Structure 1
Amino acid sequence: MLDVKNKWALVTGASRGIGRETALAMAKNGANVIVHSRNLAHTESLVEEIKKLGVDVFAVAAELSNEEEVRKMADTVLEKTTVDILFNNAGVMSTFQNPQWQVDASEYVRTYQINAIAPMILLEKLLPGMLEQKFGRIINTTSVVKNQPALGAYVASKAALDKLAQDYAGRLKAKNVMINSVYPGWIKTDLGGEKAPHDVETVIPGMIIGAFVPKGFTGQWIEAQNYSGKSLEEALEMLEEQK
């Protein structure tokens, strides 16, 4: 299994839910962690919890709908370290459109900015360092929502992110930079709602598998719930068998 000790992982949307679980799981596996939220106060308790795990950690803040803030956040990170592992986890659900066939362009712009454009900017800023060191792991949180035109802005933004991963995968493969999409399942979070069938703890180890995949495993779709209850080692063995 890939050793992530002393490697730096950036997790967007880390203050709660899936992002928080991801950040803690990476720290427990020895990675140093950069936790992002809209406000530094939102990750104060998480930073303290990660420190107790014996790894390095620091927090950054940015409103992901604001391109300038995203770029500034990336620059702040790069002043301190090179990012080895990027979790594009943060996302928003678009407003339910009614009637479904009426398009609210502003809703599309906002949702795309957070769910697709912000991850693209982070790739632009962080990929050069990964390529230079010939190592990088990029994990995009995706969705399986379909046949929901009323949620068109959300669905289209995730589809754009998936297409980005597929297109980048082949170009980055030779440089040992792997990019994969992970679907966490329908999870009880602020985004998923209380009716969701899965508790947030079930996303581990599935959500972090992409950080540990070997060279050559890229451009793939991973369903986190397939690995719920498994150890990371078991999950990676299962993933290898499914290739």
Structure 2
Amino acid sequence: MRLQNRIAFITGGGRGIGREIALAFAREGADVAVAARTQGEVEAVAKEVQALGRRGLAVRLDLTNRANIRQAAKTVLEHFGRVDILVNNAGVLSKGPVHTLGEAAWDFTLAINLTGIFLVTQSLLGQMLERGWGRIININSSSGKIGLPYRSAYAASKHGALGFMRSLASEVADKGITVNAICPGLVDTQMWDTSVENFAAEMGKTPEEAREMFRQRIPVKRFTGAWELAPLAVYLASDDAISMTGQAIQLDGGFLQS
């Protein structure tokens, strides 16, 4: 097992990508704390982790609340004694033209997608430095590398998160800690389903028509499954990835090509 007896903490772990990574980590021998705003969802995932024979912990996490972030980190550290692997997966998708985008929407998007990553990482980095080992994986997006219309807040938050990742990777590169990002394109999740419905309403199309339009833009002609990110996350979290750091890895069916 590639993650035997490692301790992982995953934000946004109650569904979609976060859930798939949590279960993949458990199958590889890790104990997993999953955190999200929706307590019922993370409790269900924690039980799935336990069913795989590993310790699972559900933690309520509100990334707009600094005190709650500190408390969540404290809870996980008290329960497991340490955190070896941090996956910053929680995120929100916002849209709207710049000239009408409200400050509240802008602030909320950056609070979750950028400041939240900083605060959670800061809360757990010290104990990684003390032990000289750690893996930090941020789930980013193609929007962290390009700009798309009506996605200014989302793109700004994701571009910022990549800058943070690269800077931190350089800061801790000689301390046994790697920091990387996975940048998926269009992933078949509940968040994407909601986005498709919004796009369809704006374009006067049915959700099925909108989905097909987006599918045709992907070279492989299929949406990425949430499960597809899990094996890559396992690799990045393992000892095998000792020389992989500061990288924003594209996993998007060829939508963006390096």
TM-score (norm 1): 0.85
> In the alignment, what sits opposite 1:214?
241
> In the alignment, what sits opposite 2:19?
20
Residue 97 of structure 1: SS of its match in structure 2?
Answer: coil
Structure 1 segment 133-152 matched on structure 2, within 5 A: 133-145=131-143, 146-152=146-152
How many Å separate the matches in 2 of 1:214 and 1:188? Answer: 27
How many Å separate the matches in 2 of 1:147 and 1:68? Answer: 33
> In the alignment, what sits opposite 1:199?
225
Change (3 A) 1:201 1:217: closer
Change (3 A) 1:86 1:158: same
CA shift, 1:66, in A, is 1.8
> In the alignment, what sits opposite 1:128?
126
CA shift, 1:208, in A, is 3.1
CA shift, 1:183, in A, is 1.3
CA shift, 1:52, in A, is 1.6
**Segment drifting more, 84-93 vs 2-11:** 2-11
How many Å separate the matches in 2 of 1:180 and 1:159? Answer: 14
> Which of the pair has more CA radius of gyration?
2
CA shift, 1:184, in A, is 2.7
**Native 8 Å contact 1:206 1:223 kept in 2:** no
% identical aligned pairs: 34
TM-score (norm 2): 0.81
How many Å separate the matches in 1 of 2:93 and 2:22? Answer: 21
**Native 8 Å contact 1:101 1:149 kept in 2:** no
Deviations 1:53-92 (A, max 9, x none): 1111111001112222112111211222211000000100
> In the alignment, what sits opposite 2:208?
none
> In the alignment, what sits opposite 2:207?
none
> In the alignment, what sits opposite 2:106?
108
Matched, 1:84 2:110: no
**Native 8 Å contact 2:88 2:138 kept in 1:** yes
How many Å separate the matches in 2 of 1:190 and 1:211? Answer: 25
> In the alignment, what sits opposite 1:153?
153
Matched, 1:223 2:250: yes
How many Å separate the matches in 2 of 1:4 and 1:223? Answer: 23
CA shift, 1:167, in A, is 0.5
How many Å separate the matches in 2 of 1:124 and 1:204? Answer: 24
Unaligned regions of 5+ residues in structure 1, if any?
A: 227-243
Deviations 1:94-130 (A, max 9, x none): 1x214x4334221111011111111111111111110
How many Å separate the matches in 2 of 1:19 and 1:164? Answer: 20
The residue type paired with residue 189 of structure 1 is: T
Unaligned regions of 5+ residues in structure 2, if any?
A: 197-210, 216-222, 254-258
> In the alignment, what sits opposite 2:199?
none
The residue type paired with residue 93 of structure 1 is: L
Task: State the number of aligned residues.
Answer: 223
Residue 30 of structure 1: SS of its match in structure 2?
Answer: coil
Matched, 1:37 2:64: no
Residue 119 of structure 1: SS of its match in structure 2?
Answer: helix
Change (3 A) 1:40 1:103: closer
Q: Which consecutive segments of 4 or more residues in structure 1 shift more than 3 A?
A: 100-103
**Segment drifting more, 206-215 vs 184-193:** 206-215
CA shift, 1:225, in A, is 5.1
The residue type paired with residue 199 of structure 1 is: G
How many Å separate the matches in 2 of 1:125 and 1:198? Answer: 31
